[in-house]
Structure 1
């Protein structure tokens, strides 16, 4: 009896915006003159945190 082959699905492409991490960094601004004070990570809006490229 022949062994059954398992089909290997290709890995989905990584999101180009977050490079597959699901998070992006944004500069935080404070004060009336909007001076930058640091960076904060947030959810990638392109892939919604999955890290996989969307297919349209």
Structure 2
């Protein structure tokens, strides 16, 4: 006597892990901009980007 074949059962996918909260200072980019000023009257000529010191460039909110 032949055994009955069962349809293959599918496993449920694990729920995705929640994304970590974004840094409020750099908004998750890891970089912040500062205005560059030159001259005696200190006029603004542009912006310079640098590492976010709040999250150290990771973009994730630091744990308090």
Q: What is the TM-score with the length of structure 1 in the denominator?
A: 0.78
**Unmatched tracts of structure 1, length 5 or more:** none
SS of residue paired to 1:36: strand
Question: Which one has more relative contact order, counting CA pairs under 8 Å at least 6 apart?
Answer: 1
| Structure with bigger gyration radius | 2
Counterpart residue number, 2:58: 50
Unaligned runs of 5+ in 2: 1-10
Runs of 4+ deviating beyond 6 Å: none
RMSD: 1.7
Tell me the number of residue pairs that the alignment of Structure 1 and Structure 2 aligns. 53
Deviation readout 1:1-56 (Å, 9 max, x if unpaired): xx7x8675432100011110000111000112111001111111111100000011
